[in-house]
């Protein structure tokens, strides 16, 4: 699906590009990444979930920078949009983290190991940097 198809399907909505929305979403991504790091010693499930949320916020920043917003809060919307701009491996990892986060939040306690949480933090940091680079390029 290309960007026009996402828009026609009502998955994304066009809006005027607003640099404040872009920078606010990136600030949220960085805030969440910091919070995830701080949570590592207490709860790996939440550290992972917050790291995923930081990635989600960075994709929202990318959407805003392109003049779009999601028409819903569903994670798959962001993954579908990200697929248009990011490397396939990054999108696959983002979507896997979305599913794993769902299990950690709605499933059972202790779903995420310390190693998984640490990997999520590393991936989120790299993911956010890649999106920032895309936004700067225009």
If one counts every other C-beta atom within 10 angstroms of the C-beta of residue 18, the result is 13
- Residue 121 near residue 36, CB atoms below 8 Å: yes
What proportion of the chain, given as a percentage, has pLDDT over 70? 97
84 to 26, 65, 132: CA distances (angstroms)? 19, 14, 15
Give the whole-angstrom CA distance, residue 108 versus residue 118: 19
2 to 26, 31, 50, 85: CA distances (angstroms)? 24, 31, 29, 10
Give the whole-angstrom CA distance, residue 126 versus residue 28: 16
Amino acid 40: pLDDT? 93
Average pLDDT over every residue of 41-68: 95
Residue tagged 């919070």 (tokens): 35
11: confidence class by pLDDT, cuts 50, 70, 90: confident
Average pLDDT of every residue of the chain: 92
What are the tokens at 70? 């999601």
Average pLDDT over every residue of 104-118: 91
What proportion of the chain, given as a percentage, has pLDDT over 90? 71
- Residue 67 near residue 16, CB atoms below 8 Å: yes
CATH H-level superfamily of 17-137: Nucleotidyltransferases  domain 2 (1.20.120.330)
């Amino acid at each position: 699906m290309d960007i026009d198809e996402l828009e026609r399907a009502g998955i994304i909505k066009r809006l005027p590009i607003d640099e404040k929305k872009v920078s606010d979403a990136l600030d949220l991504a960085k805030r969440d990444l910091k919070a995830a790091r701080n949570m590592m010693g207490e709860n790996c499930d939440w550290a992972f979930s917050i790291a995923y949320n930081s990635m989600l916020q960075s994709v929202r920043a990318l959407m805003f920078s392109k003049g779009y917003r999601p028409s819903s809060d569903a994670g798959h919307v962001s993954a579908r949009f990200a697929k248009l701009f990011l490397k396939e491996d990054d999108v696959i990892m983002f979507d896997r983290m979305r599913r794993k986060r769902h299990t950690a939040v709605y499933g059972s306690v202790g779903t995420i190991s310390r190693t998984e949480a640490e990997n999520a933090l590393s991936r989120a940091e790299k993911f956010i940097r890649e999106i920032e680079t895309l936004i700067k390029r225009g």
